[in-house]
Amino acid sequence: MNANGGASNDRSDRDGRPSPIDVHVGSRIRLRRTLLGMSQEKLGDALGLTFQQVQKYERGVNRVGASRLFDISRVLDVPISFFFDDMPEGMNEMPMSGPRGRSNGLSEAQEPFGVGLDDHMTKRETLELVRAYYRITEPTVRKRMFDLIKSLAPADSFPTE
Q: Give, in order, the Cα–Cα distances in Å from 129 to each of 86, 101, 134, 146.
A: 19, 41, 9, 11
CA pair distance 52, 41, nearest whole angstrom = 8
Tell me what pLDDT residue 157 has.
Answer: 61
Residues in the chain where the model's pLDDT stays below 70: 1-15, 90-123, 157-161
Q: What is the pLDDT of residues 39-66, one digit of tens each?
A: 999 999 999 999 999 999 999 999 999 9
Mean pLDDT for the chain overall: 76
Q: Per CATH, the architecture of 11-91 is what?
A: Orthogonal Bundle (1.10)
Domain ranges of the chain: 11-91, 123-161
